[in-house]
Amino acid sequence: MKEQLLALKKACLEAISKADRLSNLQEIEVKYIGRKGELTNILRGVKDLSDAEKPVIGKLSNEVKNELEAEFKAKAHALETAELNNKLKDDTFDITVPGPDVKPGHIHPLSQVQNEVEKIFSSMGFMIMDGPEVESEYYNFEGLNIPAWHPARDMQDTFFIKDKKDKKHGRMVLRTQTSPVQLRTMEKYGAPLRVIVPGRTFRYEATDVSHDTTFYQVEGFMIDKDISISHLKGVLAQFLSKLFGKEVTVRIRPGYFPFVEPGLEVDFSCLLCGGKGCRVCKHTGWVEFMGAGMIHENVLKAGGIDPKKWQGWAFGFGLTRLVMMRHGIDDIRLILGGDLRFINQF
């Protein structure tokens, strides 16, 4: 009987190895180890065996059965995999068929860049302030050391509001700069301060590709005991490097703004040519970016801060201009034009 079992095992293994389809394999399984299969057939003879032989054959038959079952399983798995692979190989799925319309909207580039600017300055401990867009002449000019007759007013053509006049505030204007919020913040919080003010500003100006009546600025200022021009250079380099994702250097040169002394113009190294000079930077290696300076003592005083105890700097740059620079937008009128063909690009 032992020989019978071993012969069966051999025959079965051979059949398994030859099986090429799952159905085929199942037939073999039924034939050899099924309930009515050959193994059962052989084992029918066990009852005729001696008591000494019975356990030996019993053990052997179990081993044979287990071994064959494992073999069947392994083969079945192999055949399944092969079949699946065949099926996958023959698949003719067309990945170029367009998907259903899933249309996310778009956030205006101004909002996107503003958000980034706010995040960078927040991470450096600056608070983000807001102020009114319809502002008084006092906050927009006088309080910032720009009296009515000052030639600097020529630089800022102003929208005036009809029939609004007040003894302290003067006339009412659409703010020409975000700087009035400097004063308002000083009045509210006192020193020390680290603040940025991104916001909408207005100029009474004819519109063309590079001028609009409405644009966005970012004002920033820092007031503490020992704040210097060196810190302005450092903070701005930090900000610009973070914003542009690469090392940016900052150049400072003299400039004039009545609300700062010394007054500064700040340029940054041209991102396109790295300072070698190209069309974008008009072959200077530098891109004009903002006005800045140490806050004028008259402005600190107007904000209720003692210039003998505190000092600091302020800067202002055009957010709209930054957006245009960043995305290569050549016409400012697109920014507030409401054209989805433009906005949907961002």
Partner 1 sequence: MLISLNWIKDFVALKDDIDPKKLGELITVRTAEVEGLTDLAESFNNMVVGKIKSIKPHPDADKLTVTETSVGGKTHQIVCGANNIYEGMYAPVALPGAKVKWHGEGDWVELKPTKVRGVMSEGMLCAGEEIGLESKEDGIYDLKGFDVKEGMPLAKVFAKDDIVFEIDNKSITHRPDLWGHYGMAREIAAITGNKLKKLGAMVKIPVSGESPEIEVEDYDLCPRYCGLIIKNITVEESPQWLKDRLIAVGYRPISNIVDITNYVMAELGQPLHAFDKSFIKKGIIVRRAKKDEKITTLDGQERKLGTEMLVIADHEKPVAIAGVMGGENSEINDGTTEIIIESANFNPQSVRTTSVRLGLRTEAVQRFEKSLDPQLTELAIKRTAELILQLCPKAKIAGPITDKSNIELKELVITLDTEKVASKIGAPVTAKQCAEILESLEFGVHKKSATKLEVLVPSFRATKDVDIEDDLVEEVVRMYGYENVEATLPDLPIKTPIDNIERTRKHHARNLLSYGFGMSEIYNYSFYGNDELEKCLIEDKNHILLENCLSSDQTHLRISLVPNLLKNVADNLRYFPGFGIYEIGRTYKEIGEFFPLEEKWIAGAVVLPKKAKLEPFYDAKSIVLNFLEQFSGSQAKLLKDEKGLSYAHPSRVAKIILRGKEVGNVFEVHPQVLKNFDIEAKVAMFEINFTQIAGMDAPMTKYSQLPKFQGLDIDISVVVDRKKTVEEVENEIEKADKNLIKRVKLFDIYEGENVEKDKKAFAFRVLLQADDRTLTDEEMSAVQKKIFHNLEKIGGVIRGK
Which one among 20, 53, 83, 166 touches partner 1, defined by CB under 8 A? 166
Q: Which stretch binds partner 1 (CB under 8 A): 14-22, 77-85, 88-96, 153-161?
A: 153-161
The answer to the question of residue 241 lying near partner 1 (CB under 8 A) is no
Query: How many residues belong to the site for partner 1 (CB under 8 A)?
Result: 85
b/e string for 278-298 if b means 16 or more Cβ within 10 A?
Answer: eeebeeebbbbbbbbbbbbeb
Q: How far is the CB of 193 from partner 1 (least distance, A)?
A: 10
Residue 294 contacts by C-beta under 8 Å, 6 or more apart in sequence?
229, 260, 261, 262, 311, 312, 313
State which residue, 37 or 277, has the beta carbon closest to partner 1: 277
Contact 208, 237 (CB under 8 A): no
Q: Which stretch binds partner 1 (CB under 8 A): 1-9, 35-43, 68-76, 105-113?
A: 105-113
Closest CA to 291 of 248, 326, 261: 261
The answer to the question of residue 243 lying near partner 1 (CB under 8 A) is no
State which residue, 61 or 114, has the beta carbon closest to partner 1: 114
The answer to the question of residue 169 lying near partner 1 (CB under 8 A) is yes
The sign of the CA dihedral 85, 90, 93, 94 is: positive
Interhelix angle 22-33/2-18, nearest 10 degrees? 170
Gap between the Cα atoms of 322 and 339, Å rounded: 20
Gap between the Cα atoms of 145 and 260, Å rounded: 9
Q: Which residue has the tokens 């007013």?
A: 153
State which residue, 100 or 254, has the beta carbon closest to partner 1: 254
Gap between the Cα atoms of 24 and 83, Å rounded: 13
The answer to the question of residue 253 lying near partner 1 (CB under 8 A) is yes
The answer to the question of residue 194 lying near partner 1 (CB under 8 A) is yes
DSSP annotation string for 298-325: HHHHHTT--TTT-EEEEEEEEHHHHHHH
Which one among 250, 270, 322, 329 touches partner 1, defined by CB under 8 A? 250
| Interacting residues with partner 1 between 172 and 191 (CB under 8 A) | 172, 174, 189
The answer to the question of residue 317 lying near partner 1 (CB under 8 A) is no
State the binding string over 106-125 for partner 1 (x if CB under 8 A, else -): xxx-xx---x--x---x--x
The answer to the question of residue 336 lying near partner 1 (CB under 8 A) is yes
Q: How far is the CB of 36 from partner 1 (least distance, A)?
A: 45
Which one among 65, 242, 251, 301 touches partner 1, defined by CB under 8 A? 251
The answer to the question of residue 290 lying near partner 1 (CB under 8 A) is no
State the binding string over 39-78 for partner 1 (x if CB under 8 A, else -): ----------------------------------------
Which one among 113, 264, 319, 324 touches partner 1, defined by CB under 8 A? 264
Contact 43, 64 (CB under 8 A): no
Closest CA to 201 of 188, 218, 186: 218
Which one among 51, 91, 226, 330 touches partner 1, defined by CB under 8 A? 226
